[in-house]
């Protein structure tokens, strides 16, 4: 088993995000609080469970918009207020300082 020199933060949608996502009458699926998908992000290992919020405060806008775009690609339909306080209301953030490599074969890095 190998470790990776990164910290992980996982974004878990809260009810405001779920309500926003389910507010579209586009024939798409509805999101349920019991079955939301989380997004895990590797951040520099200079952050840890004590200071990861510093990273979030610097990058929340990019993360917020990434999560909004995952559900609705038209930015005109995104909430107008996308400040850090709103981000915190829309996502629960779970930090982890351990990233373990359990797979086989090389890791592929792809552009997102």
Place of tokens 């930090």: 95
Tallying the residues shown for the chain, one arrives at 112
Comparing C-alpha atoms, which of 108, 100, 105, 71 is closest to residue 5? 100
Mutual angle of helices 15-22 and 52-71, in 10-degree steps: 20
Comparing C-alpha atoms, which of 50, 32, 52 is closest to residue 42? 52
pLDDT tens for 22-59 read 998 776 667 777 778 899 999 998 998 899 999 999 99
What pTM value is reported for the model?
0.86
Task: Indicate the Cα dihedral angle 60, 61, 65, 68, nearest 10°.
Answer: 60
pLDDT tens for 85-97 read 999 999 999 999 8
Place of tokens 């490599």: 101
């Amino acid at each position: 088993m190998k470790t990776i020199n990164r910290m992980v933060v996982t974004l878990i949608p809260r009810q405001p995000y779920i309500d926003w996502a389910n507010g579209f009458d586009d024939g798409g699926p509805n999101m349920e609080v019991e079955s939301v998908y989380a997004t895990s992000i590797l951040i520099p290992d200079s952050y840890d469970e004590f200071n990861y919020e510093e990273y979030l405060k610097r990058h929340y806008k990019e993360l917020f918009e990434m999560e909004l775009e995952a559900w609705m690609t038209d930015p005109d339909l995104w909430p107008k207020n996308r400040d850090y306080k709103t981000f915190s209301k829309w996502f629960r953030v779970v930090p982890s300082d351990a990233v373990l490599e359990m797979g086989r074969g090389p890791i592929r890095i792809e552009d997102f």
